[in-house]
A and B are shown apart, each in its own frame.
Chain A
């Protein structure tokens, strides 16, 4: 117990907050079907705790802060749990807490009775999920890390299958669980390599373990595989577009906004903290995987017709960008260019935070839309800006942010990432030197495509005419939901306006991992990663400039040319009949991308003929990776297991014989 007593107040506080989350979850079981109790007491309580977690994460950048460790009196004998709070875990706790606050407030208004799992149970799973993510970020030994990691996977599995009566949701949940465990296996093996024969499971021991270069590379590849499966790195992404749409919207928001970030956290922890600087090809591999994932995700997002699937693919894209950034960090680290590595790492961390904010925001907005309309398919929505002005306004902020448009937060991380790419051409390696600008080209292409995707997402859901007559009855989100959305939207705007604060914050992390920071200038108004005359950007002044010029134009036009405004039918080149069906559908909006990137997809189309009395148009777009890799693998597994099924004779005596033989064989071995 002495170690427990010696733990610093900060660590004690964060652990008690995690425990509080568990307690809140447990309280849900007290009256599992009382919606008012759960929605109006427990979830807001969870939000307050999340705020506390964020605050503790924020303390890690106090000047006096040093990394704090503690040993818990839990776990196995001789294998206690170690926790550690340093700048990296602090940053991710901040991410978890700040986005989690918004999601919890929203959930308070969102969850209702009568949808699959009982609300009380849902509340328990939800808070266990949050607590386990916090523990992943606090764990300081492989044992606690894996326990928290598996708890996270299981609790999120139960959350995904909330509507467990629907077979396709059970299927999606199973796929998710399967991939989560394949990934966990990779991580477990990675830790197995990392301890380097010392059998010490703490990260401290792993840091000091000396590994042969070959085993270092093996450990890195295993980590990339394991965390990549969780993050949705192509080709391990297949679970993501199935699981995210299946879950209730706040859960999708948590999985996409928060859980994917635990994988990023793990990758950073292993590749930058535990492992020493590796050969340059680690970085190139990571960069290539990241860029491939980004392009793949965004191209698929552009052709989706289900709004949550679209967002899920967009998450794949963002993870791809983040991983590409990590690749750049690794490249720079391998050639010992610390400032550039710090710049790239800053871009990675800020993008992770940004993605947590805007992706949660958008998933929650789709939740409100689904509650209001009961529809998920883009083909049956439209014109909701008039019925749901609040949700539409918040979703606009999220969409513009995710499209990487200034002066919102998405642009900040994109800007930093491009700056990092731009300043690398002094790498003393000819091939690397040529690959890096290509990386910048792909990043900018993916970012521009994200703009396309978001125009489609926002335009088809919120703009135009109602595609179904029932949409005219849609109602706006409730008060708590609006507060949740507003919290996240505010985060997007603030990071956009004060990027220098974000850069300062992540400076502590880069200092910890790389021993250098990206923030060169000390000015409060600018971010100047290299030097003032080389590159500078000021989010706040950009806001001021844009608003001032827009306002001035508005005032000027209104003051001097105040013509009347008349409302009338749309002109549309004079066509008299206009129906909602004449707008572009989601399929139509994706058509140029389908045409341009045709070979990536497997498209099945059924086109109507002019003579058809009841014309029907059907299109199905499938993932070639699923067809080419997973289905054959599944078939092989099926065949192998079928051949093993011979063992299952059905007679009890035979089964007993198996046990008996096993016993004999084991005894022989002992001899």
Chain B
């Protein structure tokens, strides 16, 4: 490995950090258009970050060090996750440090810190949000792992770059029925993990419905900015996981060239555009589930992923 590879590694993280707010802005814009609302500009999230970073931070009197440290840890976990996922190139040194199982662990770490921080102040909303988040989390985490297992079984590896290389090395396109199951499960997990409809509504502050928003109620200014940024990064990361598993075409492999990266970048933006529009469409056409239906929804995701494994063993094993 040369120094250039490490440079690309930093570049991939930087692209994720930079593009994530844009992607969030794109989804919001699509949603607004579909709902016949006046759409916010694409760069609205950047404006929000700028505003939040310049404000005075208010902290509850009894906030402990955990509360203040959590946004940094969560943000760092998401940046590190972006470094593991081969969104542009498969030549990622960090992806050797942590494979896909560690990636799921990284998401879990971020979730646990978020929930603990939410419980730190001791308000009714914070604990409620933490409890609901953990409820969603304990079902999505194994579901995501099982989705990844489908890919692992196919490629015989848990390293995401190797999975991409394996798919791209096939001489012609292969249809995998097990991946159909995994894809359905993955979309369900993506919606739940990123506080999207039908599990959580990102645009309300109603106590009966909210999960993510309830947890971050006590944060303000730069802490809130980091948390919001981290949640956009999470959405971005999930989208990229989806691309690596199901539509990896365009990701640069075998030697990093500037042209390859440029092409990968172009395709990534195109894929993100389509995925964001699809997400907005899905959110617009579906209604929020009752909270007690959420476990049912997620259990289904989990079982579908497991079913994918079984179908793989039967048909392709």
Contact = CB atoms under 8 A, between A and B. Distances in A.
Verify whether A and B have any Cβ pair under 8 Å. yes
Contacts of A549: 76, 79-80
Interface string B56-98: 1111111110100000110111011001000000000010111
Interface in A435-453: 437-438, 440-441, 444-445, 447-449, 451-452
Contacts of B73: 546, 550
A535 B157 contact: yes
A534 B159 contact: yes
A377 interface: no
B97 A437 contact: no
Contact of B60 (A454, A568, A595): A568
Nearest to B84: A545
Given A536-B96, A537-B97, A580-B122, A449 B138 contact: yes
Contact of B64 (A386, A403, A563, A568): A386
Contacts of A403: 108, 112
Contacts of B106: 406
A589 B98 contact: no
Contacts of A411: 102, 105
B80 A545 contact: yes
Contacts of A535: 99, 157-159
Interface string A504-526: 00000000000000000000001
A385 B126 CA distance: 17
Interface string A550-584: 10011001001101111111111101001010111
A575 B125 CA distance: 10
Given A385-B64, A444-B141, A550-B76, A418 B119 contact: no
Interface in B195-224: 205, 207, 217-218, 221-222
Contacts of B99: 535-537
A414 B54 CA distance: 42
A437 B59 contact: no
B134 A546 contact: no
Interface string A110-131: 0000000000000000000000
Counting chain B residues whose Cβ lies within 8 A of the other chain, the interface size class is 35 or more
A437 B76 CA distance: 32
Interface in B135-169: 135, 137-139, 141-142, 145-146, 149, 152-153, 156-159, 162
A382, A550, A568 — most chain B CB neighbours (10 Å): A550
A400 interface: yes
A209 interface: no
B222 A570 contact: no
A198 B54 CA distance: 83
Given A458-B116, A463-B64, A583 B127 contact: yes
A582 B125 CA distance: 9
Nearest to B157: A534
B58 A459 contact: no
A538 B99 CA distance: 9
A583 B135 CA distance: 17
B310 A588 contact: no
B226 interface: yes
Interface in A454-475: 454-456, 458-460, 463-465
Interface in B295-313: 295, 302, 306, 309-310, 313
B142 A448 contact: yes
B228 interface: no
A533 B95 CA distance: 10
Given A534-B156, A542-B102, A563-B56, A592 B131 contact: yes
Contacts of A572: 121, 123-126, 217-218
A500 to B, nearest CB: 13
B259 interface: no
Nearest to A590: B131
A67 interface: no
A193 interface: no
Contacts of B274: none
Contacts of A418: 101, 145
A177 B119 CA distance: 40
A385 B66 contact: yes
A561 B53 contact: yes
A354 to B, nearest CB: 14
A59 interface: no
A248 to B, nearest CB: 28
8 contacts: A403-B108, A406-B109, A464-B127, A538-B97, A550-B76, A561-B222, A563-B53, A571-B58
